[in-house]
A and B are shown apart, each in its own frame.
Chain A
Amino acid sequence: MKFTMTGSQWVGLGVLLSLLIFAVLGMMFSPFSISQQDLNAVLDSPSAVHWLGTDHFGRSMLTRMAHAVGLSFALGVLCVVTSSLLGTALGVWAVWGGKKVDHILGVMVNILLALPGLVVVLLFAAIVPGSFWILYLAISLVQWVEYFRVVRAITQNVIHSPARQSSQMMGFGHWYQFKRHIWPAIVPSVFTLAAFGGANAILTMASLGFVYVGIQPPLAELGLMTVELFPFYSDAPWLLAQPLVVIALMVFGFHLLAGKRV
């Protein structure tokens, strides 16, 4: 299986990697902590000390942005890994496990699909406000359905293909059939879904932060920072712009990485 990336996919990967490097370096080397206040220097414009300025409590924006980007990436990657593994495994199992398994999984998926994704996440977030892990759980729970449906549809064709039938008749086991027949068929779609899923997870977390049910202060989170800095949009527009631009860049990066649509 050869992975050839187009130019725009490289650009997407480049954008994401630079943001990640920014986050890692910012978290490691910044002399300020995310909650360290300096009320003598509120809403400062970028300077030699505070490269990205300070917010309304005089906290270093660079430090806060680095932590927020790091948090978003962590959630995005965790959600993608969990939901793609779960969705792929169940999708293949639904086809392979026979009618009964397919039926039960189908009912489960239909229930999840009937609920709007953001509402499910909101529901979970309301149970344990401010918990990163509950957000992760809720977003993964919503996202695996996509993988399940796509993988199941593709696997259904592969299972009935002469190629797989022939391998089975020659005595090859389930793992071999998955590795040689199913995986090569589903990997492009799973990869595309994963890229979109990463962007969606980040957007969902930011939306929750924006309505104050996601990550709680004083932690730095992109949606939360947006809403906190919102009152100062005329005094310090460069501050409000920072989380917004970064969210847009992350989503842009993931969508470029996805390449063509499924």
Chain B
Amino acid sequence: MFAGAFMMGAKDRLLPPSVPFRFFATAVLMHVAGWAVLLAGAGDLSGYMGGLGLPLAGLHLITLGVLAMSGMGAAFQMLPVATRRQLGPVWACRLSWWLFTPGVVVLSLGFATAWTWALHGGATLAVAGLALFAFLVGRNLMQVSDLPGVTRHVWLAVVSLVLLAGLGLLLVVDLDIGVLPDRAAVAATHALLAGYGFMGMLTMGFSMVLIPMFVLSQGVPDRVGTRSAALSAAALLLGAGGSLAGSGAAAALGGLVGLAAVAVHLKAQAAVLKGRMRKRLESFFRLVKGAWVVLPLSLAAGIALALGLAPDVTAPLWGLLLVLGWLLSFATGILQRIMPFLASMHSGANGGKPVLLSHLVWETPLTLHVAGHAGGVALLAVGLVLHSPLILTAGAVLGLAGALSFALFALVMTRRYQAYENTKNKGTPPE
């Protein structure tokens, strides 16, 4: 008899594949939409310092639609396995998607068009979806006493999420009734908490489990994880506090402490790579390594911005390096690996031979995705520095081409998975 038949105590931590894959599929589509909207608004990117319009809509399609969406899917799937505790009922995970996905679409529409109903309705739905996610993750973490390196980062992400969602709602309300004395400071704090706090801490926390698992290496020691979490907490406190209070010096100091946290994190990841059993790093790792290179650069740009150095360049450059350079590179790199990995895992979970990873993965579109993404981010950076709409447009075209290529990979992978499952279910032994 196969494991799945009577392994419910062990198996019930595995969510149905429809839960994580609805988040991942949505992220893939939002990835294309985000780059397309950035391309449409490429003429407004130079010197962009905030405000409604296509750049803000494209930015949120990426941050909420891709980064948060894939983070939620990954957390729902991975966290209960890593912590060995239940995360929540399946219906609640599904409900968070049903709230969050239309919220992101409508909110982005509101950012692009300045329609009040879309801004209010989209923000309310998106925050409701995120609040449910934060509740489920928080409840899971409260049962965990081990894995402090991972859980402290995820706690920081949850706290940041609550704060950034509150600030985000304030920013939307402020558009109508002008409640904020310094809107720019609140917007910067919202961005900082979203980038480094919510997504950044999820990225760093999950890296301690995911990267060792994918390269087959020892995990990051708890004492190292807790050290990087403590430094990150101090950096977020200084950075967000300084930004909100309008103190550039405090925010810059937060950036410096953040660099120390990043140094601890990257040194630990380097040790993971050094001790790995899987000698050949797979193609997804090109994006992960690129993300690691850009992460400290984003902090350097943030420090320059906090000190008031050429804000018309450093402000959009900071956003670009943080969101597209670090977080999007890392998230799509992990998606390249985790989608076929989970598909293979689920295909074997109910018995029979699982579909091979190597059967699901089509390398060519992945390589094109990496090239398009890297080229797009590089050209956008050059375009922002040179204030060149032409270069910015070319960068967005490359980024969109990469996103389309990644979508093609996801489509082919899904078809191969379904074909394998159909063959298996008909009783024909799959090859």
Partners in one complex: no
Binding site for A on B (CB under 8 A): none
